[in-house]
Structure 1
């Protein structure tokens, strides 16, 4: 069974397995992966150490165990998300900042550019948003094999999330058109530069490269931009019973960033807006590090020589 077949099988059959058994299986997978301490786990620990410099090596190692459990929790939930009822979905999600910062824009027929990190369960957040807040339009990285990417798109479409493939034509233009139609949340996973043409920023005191998409969309479409932090929280009592699971998520909408001076060069405006949402998102990365599922290189000091030269030779 290849990867695409496995994902397809899991999405079709995981909902038939009792959740306590699924939790036990995915926790065991997380712990075995953590104990083996392969390349992905070591990268997670390196990233965690940069955003949490006060922790010693042993503390980072313990934190990465929680991180792998959080990461496997995301996959377990993803495989069963299509079987979650609307009432269970609402019980699993708690929202902060939406009424203050986003609802007025949506109610006025506008759209919002949202910068996300690989935090918590962004698919659960997207499903909740599409059913309870506003239409959700996003971009997804093309995965290999193509069949796997197609499965991910079908999965997210089934949750009510409209997905554009990264590299599939004029993606920015399609996002701008969607934003100008209004009534949409446009969340973009942006804490990693997939194009090698991203923006270099200060992330928790270290130079890092992130995606320019949220800022470019805001400037091109004339919509506000801000970060969204997502993290897990334990559920108790009536809410846990209604959710049908011991874990839920918090979706925290940060305030929209001030518009940069239009007289500045466009690349400077992009840099200022990008640094702004990175500063917002950093608060969640520090406070809920174990829910940052970043198993790839983000920081300039960890990039290859070619990428470092593209960043001006900066070091973390």
Structure 2
């Protein structure tokens, strides 16, 4: 409850403080957390991720990149506090993309659209911007063990116009698609029960949900990432790959794996372009003895 009340107070105070100041404070907080509170395991996972994506082998350079990566992540906290203070028109103006025709193409099929993305940039703000452009937008999310944190996240997303479908209520996801609306899912989540694919040339086990939902519903998938550009800290840019459509309706293991791999292949170049804004601080790849491929 203390965290929830602190967040509510931060939202009020945010109205009185310049945006750049908030970003600066968040970056300093991120630096402190990285240096003194992040576990060695989390730092090692971050360096491993950056090494695989960037090709950099120097331990010193990877450590510097890891710190910068976490500072970028910390700046999202300022945005998260700021969300409830933005008017719909302001929210729409924060999202920049020239790929809306692809969204129209997918929705014109009448089967809904599945956004598949990763923890990059400010995905919640991007979802709010999409919703305010007139496209009903839902995210699949897990319930937090702490009910106050769960309430905090849901209320913030509701203020953005983003609906929440809990992962333990899959029928709701299909209802969203039957209404020809947008359903968003994250793919960069280690999933012991997921599907094994190649991620940047190495085996990883990622969620099968996006592919399985697409195969069962017929909904097209749009792989995309959200990122910021230097000098445009207050704007979310969208990088989008061409739509991917399910081939057939068989959600067997082979079909799910093939579709998931197609999505991963589309996401990889976009992740590589902005790897210092990719926020995953736990191991993503399988150990050699865990891989089956």
Residue 153 of structure 1: aligned partner: 154
Distance, in Å, in 2 between the alignment partners of 1:259 and 1:107 is 16
Residue 177 of structure 1: aligned partner: 175
Asked if residue 314 in structure 1 is aligned to residue 285 in structure 2, the reply is no
Q: 1:211/1:133 Cα in 2 relative to 1: closer, same or farther (>3 Å)? A: farther
Q: Is the 8 A contact 1:172 1:217 kept in 2?
A: no
Q: Secondary structure at the match of 1:138?
A: strand
Q: Is the 8 A contact 1:15 1:79 kept in 2?
A: no
Residue 138 of structure 1: aligned partner: 139
Distance, in Å, in 1 between the alignment partners of 2:63 and 2:130 is 34
The CA RMSD measured in Å over matched residues stands at 2.4
Worse-matched range after superposition: 62-71 or 273-282: 62-71
Distance, in Å, in 2 between the alignment partners of 1:48 and 1:96 is 29
Residue 253 of structure 1: aligned partner: 240
Residue 282 of structure 1: aligned partner: 268
TM-score (norm 2): 0.90
Worse-matched range after superposition: 264-273 or 216-225: 264-273
Q: Secondary structure at the match of 2:22?
A: helix
Q: Secondary structure at the match of 2:228?
A: strand
Distance, in Å, in 1 between the alignment partners of 2:60 and 2:141 is 35
Residue 35 of structure 2: aligned partner: 35
Worse-matched range after superposition: 46-55 or 285-294: 46-55
Residue 305 of structure 1: aligned partner: none
Residue 259 (structure 1) shift? 2.8
Q: Secondary structure at the match of 2:282?
A: coil
Stretches of structure 1 that go unaligned for 5 or more consecutive residues are 237-245, 302-307
Q: Is the 8 A contact 2:83 2:156 kept in 1?
A: no
Residue 276 (structure 1) shift? 0.9
Q: Is the 8 A contact 2:111 2:217 kept in 1?
A: no
Distance, in Å, in 1 between the alignment partners of 2:15 and 2:190 is 34
Residue 118 of structure 2: aligned partner: 117
Q: Is the 8 A contact 1:113 1:223 kept in 2?
A: yes
Aligned equivalent of 1:51, options 50, 53, 74: 53
Aligned equivalent of 1:187, options 159, 168, 184: 184
Distance, in Å, in 2 between the alignment partners of 1:234 and 1:93 is 15
Distance, in Å, in 2 between the alignment partners of 1:227 and 1:253 is 6
Q: 1:66/1:161 Cα in 2 relative to 1: closer, same or farther (>3 Å)? A: same
TM-score (norm 1): 0.84
Q: Secondary structure at the match of 1:197?
A: coil
Residue 215 (structure 1) shift? 0.8
Residue 243 of structure 1: aligned partner: none
Q: Is the 8 A contact 2:116 2:221 kept in 1?
A: yes
Worse-matched range after superposition: 250-259 or 145-154: 250-259
Q: Is the 8 A contact 1:233 1:247 kept in 2?
A: no
Residue 189 (structure 1) shift? 1.4
| Equivalences, count | 291
Distance, in Å, in 2 between the alignment partners of 1:200 and 1:86 is 40
Q: 1:133/1:41 Cα in 2 relative to 1: closer, same or farther (>3 Å)? A: farther
Q: Secondary structure at the match of 1:154?
A: helix
